[in-house]
């Protein structure tokens, strides 16, 4: 598992258009900001950096949920990398605008206003398409893992022939791929939105506090929620008003755009997708699993019996990482 002190010992590396923050243990983890569709995007990689040549023509690509901060996926990603015996790289890409670079990197994140098409659901999909086009050669097999709204993006990539031919499988974890507005929390979003201006006043006040104060508040929150130490630093993004605005903007667009299940797409890719649902998931309709199995009986879908929650990466990254690694090992044997 990546320890937080490994990150703190990192150094800066500027190469071409990629500004990369590289860890001291290059074999295990590298992180950096890459400009994709004009947005500095935080990327985490295990096994090799995005500019390195592929030794094995295989890659595990994880698309985060919303909020899309890849720093919350380090435990999950490193577990998969280790369980696969470090044979193939594992990359994590976050959502555009959800994680801003430090000032010393001299990279500017476009504001939400006037750039809504970059940060909405379609823009986020275009963002992933651009990343794959630039950094993943066409002869590399891709094993997709999508979490939450990342599952929707993973499915949508299967619609595109140039990517579909590369994607060997797509693992949709706690997938928000239909009727999000009908979910338990989705039904509350209109109410939250009416009073969001009050929350905006609060987090703009927090933003003015010294970093030491903000870090103290974040640490207290993480301790209360029993979150691991390595998640304290990523949680600071929740004190950044432009980031919170983009997270909420995407959430609203999800409620509007994620409606009917794409049965046709799932049927066409029934041998390549696997869906993993929680028993109770506040962002997924209660009948989602049963409805899916009724419509597509031969779909590979299962309900988590271990009680892992929608935001599994926070407390159960190791356990879920081992489950997914088992699926990946089986799929890799089938495709050899």
Mean pLDDT of 83-96: 96
pLDDT tens sequence across 255-295: 999 999 999 999 999 999 999 999 999 999 989 999 999 99
Contacting residues for 70 by C-beta, under 8 A, at least 6 apart: 31, 42, 43, 44, 62, 64, 92, 93, 94, 99
CATH class of the domain whose range is 4-335: alpha beta
The confidence score (pLDDT) of residue 236 equals 72
Domain-wise residue ranges, the chain: 4-335
Mean pLDDT of 30-57: 95
Q: Is residue 23's pLDDT more than 60?
A: no
The confidence score (pLDDT) of residue 212 equals 83
Q: Is residue 66's pLDDT more than 50?
A: yes
Contacting residues for 211 by C-beta, under 8 A, at least 6 apart: 236
The confidence score (pLDDT) of residue 126 equals 97
Q: Which of 11-25, 103-117, 134-148, 167-181 has the lowest mean pLDDT?
A: 11-25
Residue 108 token pair: 């500017």
Query: What element of type H or E holds 15?
Result: strand 11-15
Contacting residues for 38 by C-beta, under 8 A, at least 6 apart: 110, 118
pLDDT tens sequence across 284-311: 998 999 999 999 999 999 999 999 999 9
The confidence score (pLDDT) of residue 215 equals 79
Distance CA 38, CA 47 (A): 26
> Which letter does DSSP use for residue 171 in this model?
E
Residues of the chain with pLDDT > 70, as a percent, come to 91
Mean pLDDT of 52-63: 95
**Phi and psi of 23, rounded to 5°?**
-75, 165
Q: Is residue 244's pLDDT more than 80?
A: yes
User: Which of 260, 109, 264, 251 has the alpha carbon at shortest distance from 186?
Assistant: 251
Q: Is residue 13's pLDDT more than 50?
A: no
Q: Is residue 87's pLDDT more than 60?
A: yes
Q: Is residue 25's pLDDT more than 70?
A: no
Distance CA 9, CA 225 (A): 27
Distance CA 259, CA 103 (A): 39
Distance CA 120, CA 92 (A): 20
User: Which of 149, 110, 106, 120 has the alpha carbon at shortest distance from 242?
Assistant: 110
User: Which of 24, 44, 17, 23 has the alpha carbon at shortest distance from 106?
Assistant: 17
Q: Is residue 232's pLDDT more than 80?
A: no
For CA atoms 45, 153, 160, 19, give the dihedral sign. Answer: negative
The confidence score (pLDDT) of residue 3 equals 31
> Mean pLDDT over all residues of the chain?
88
Residue 45, CA atoms < 13 Å, CB-side half-sphere = 24
The confidence score (pLDDT) of residue 260 equals 96
**Burial code of 194-230, b = ≥16 C-beta within 10 A, e = fewer?**
eeeeeeeeeeeebeeeeeeebbeebeeebeeeebeeb
The confidence score (pLDDT) of residue 222 equals 73
| pTM as predicted | 0.89
Mean pLDDT of 213-233: 76
Q: Is residue 90's pLDDT more than 80?
A: yes
pLDDT band at 238 (very low <50, low <70, confident <90, very high): confident
Angle at the Cα of 154 (from 15 to 177), degrees rounded to 5?
140
Residues recognised as catalytic: 148, 281, 310
């Amino acid at each position: 598992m990546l320890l937080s002190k490994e990150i703190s010992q990192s150094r800066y590396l500027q190469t071409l258009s990629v500004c990369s923050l590289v860890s001291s243990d290059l074999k295990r983890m590298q992180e950096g900001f890459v400009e994709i569709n004009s947005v500095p995007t935080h990327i985490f990689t295990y096994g090799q950096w995005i500019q390195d040549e592929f030794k094995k023509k295989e890659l595990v690509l994880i698309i985060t949920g919303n909020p899309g901060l890849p720093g919350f996926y380090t435990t999950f990603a490193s577990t998969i990398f280790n369980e696969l015996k470090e044979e193939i790289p594992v990359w994590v890409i976050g959502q555009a605008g959800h994680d801003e670079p430090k000032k010393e990197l001299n990279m500017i994140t476009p504001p939400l206003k006037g750039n809504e098409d970059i940060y909405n659901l379609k823009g986020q999909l275009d963002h992933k398409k651009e990343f794959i086009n630039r950094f993943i050669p066409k002869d590399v097999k891709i094993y997709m893992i999508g979490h939450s709204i990342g599952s929707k993006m993973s499915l949508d990539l299967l619609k595109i022939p140039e990517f579909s031919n590369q994607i060997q499988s797509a693992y949709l974890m706690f997938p928000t791929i239909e009727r999000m507005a009908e979910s338990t929390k989705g039904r509350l979003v209109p109410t939250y939105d009416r009073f969001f201006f009050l929350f905006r006043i609060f987090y703009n006040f927090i933003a003015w506090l010294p970093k030491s104060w903000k870090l103290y508040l974040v640490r207290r929150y993480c301790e209360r929620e029993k979150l691991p130490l390595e998640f304290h630093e990523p949680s600071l993004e929740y004190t950044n008003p432009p980031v919170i605005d983009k997270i909420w903007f995407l959430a609203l667009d999800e409620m509007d755009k994620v409606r009917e299940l794409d049965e046709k797409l799932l049927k066409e890719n029934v041998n390549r997708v696997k869906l993993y649902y929680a028993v109770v998931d506040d962002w997924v309709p209660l009948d989602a699993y049963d409805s899916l199995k009724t419509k597509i009986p031969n779909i590979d879908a299962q309900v988590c019996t271990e009680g892992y929650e929608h935001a599994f990466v926070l407390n159960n990254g190791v356990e879920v990482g081992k489950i997914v690694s088992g699926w990946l090992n089986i799929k890799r044997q089938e495709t050899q």
